[in-house]
Amino acid sequence: SLYCEEKHQWEDEEDEEPLDSYSCVDDDDDNDNNNNNNNNNIHHPKHTLLDQDFFWEHQELPSLISKETKQHLNHHHHVFSGDHRRQAAEWIMEVVSYYSFSALTAVLAVNYLDRFFEKFQELETEKKPWMTQLAAVSCLSLAAKVEETHVPLLLDLQLDGSKYVFEAKTIQKMEVLILSTLQWRMNPVTPLSFVDYITRRLGLKTYLSSEFIKRCECLLLCFLPDERFRCYLPSVIASATMVHVINSIEPCIGVEFQAQLLGILGINKEVVEDCWKDIHEVTCGRNSGRSFYKRKFGSVPGSPDAVVDLSFSSDESWTSSSVVNPNPKPNPLVSSPGSKRSRKGAT
């Protein structure tokens, strides 16, 4: 079931079904591909692929590109933008950092938020600012239930200092509205989908692969609250991010890496460069993504001469009466919650 059990049930609602009656099917039950993050030995044998793996990867990229095009947001007619989006995204990242959720959880939550407000444009967020916060809480709750193995209660998910704090029943109703609006498509293609694919496509060693992904996640989280994040396809953001990371640790192979990357994904070079400039501009003045990175993964390691060993492969009305007084700051989960394996496709 997509939902964790909550103390607050809907037994008093005559016309509504409990959330436990809904379910989502996981696309991927493979083991977590980040199990080697704590291994400090960089001398590992290179990853080898079986014949069926090559066939699967051959089918994976066209599927990712096709799905990202279908789900791309129409940023020219988007009512949810500016400070409202930035504040909601930064709040999501604060909670993600507090509970040590994965970077994918943050990316999914903001993706749900963007898609919801694009399709549900009659919500007047300017007149009802609390609506944005309610949607942000609900999207983060959904993302955590999709991606994390341990999810706090809805009241605990709202940290002390939040301007609005909502009852669990109110959040649950909003979750159902979001699920219905998004047509239960909760596994979209994200930039991390392409980062994962390219990391496997390139002959990176296991340990170096994990470090490369961590740095990419850091940059993505820095760029995530910016409104320009919605203007680019996930593949473009992923490409610009990976080029930025490679240039920062091994500038001598940056040109070769970019050529190989653009050749694999078939992306226009100028678009990637424009995105790279936007990411560079944002990351120079914002450290929220870096704060998340340091809290979850520790300090950024140095760059030894062989930090990257590149061996390229061949080829309903809502009212504010539902808002309750802020609760005391909850204790974080005792153990760091793990995350499920990063999704590579969309439902």
Is the pLDDT at 290 greater than 80? The verdict is no
Return the higher-pLDDT residue of 44 and 11: 11
Q: Rounded distance, CA 104 to CA 115, Å?
A: 16
pLDDT, residue 203, reads 66
pLDDT, residue 73, reads 63
Listing DSSP states for 113-150 in one string gives HHHHHHH-TT--TTT-HHHHHHHHHHHHHHHHHHHBS-
Is the pLDDT at 237 greater than 70? The verdict is yes
* Whether 118 contacts 74, CB under 8 Å: yes
26 contacts: CB under 8 Å, gap ≥ 6: 340
Is the pLDDT at 307 greater than 90? The verdict is no
pTM above 0.85, yes or no: no
Is the pLDDT at 97 greater than 50? The verdict is yes
Structure tokens at 268: 């226009």
Averaged pLDDT for residues 32-61: 48
Is the pLDDT at 5 greater than 60? The verdict is no
Listing DSSP states for 144-198 in one string gives HHHHBS----HHHHS-TT-S-EE-HHHHHHHHHHHHHHTTT------HHHHHHHH
Q: Rounded distance, CA 311 to CA 326, Å?
A: 53
Residue type, 176: V
Q: Report the range of poorest mean pLDDT among 9-23, 94-108, 168-182.
A: 9-23
Q: Rounded distance, CA 75 to CA 82, Å?
A: 12
Return the higher-pLDDT residue of 254 and 104: 104
Return the higher-pLDDT residue of 276 and 126: 276
Return the higher-pLDDT residue of 55 and 276: 276
Listing DSSP states for 21-74 in one string gives G-----S--PPPTTTTTT------PPP---HHHHHHHHHHHHHHHHHHHHH---
Q: Rounded distance, CA 26 to CA 343, Å?
A: 9
Q: Model confidence at 220, in pLDDT bands (50, 70, 90)?
A: very high
pLDDT, residue 210, reads 81
pLDDT digits (tens, 9 = 90+) for 163-190: 888 999 999 999 999 999 999 999 999 9
pLDDT, residue 256, reads 82
Is the pLDDT at 336 greater than 70? The verdict is no
Neighbours of 128 (CB within 10 A): 14
HSE-up (13 A, CA, CB side) for residue 74: 7
Is the pLDDT at 25 greater than 50? The verdict is no
**By percentage, how much of the chain surpasses pLDDT 90?**
34
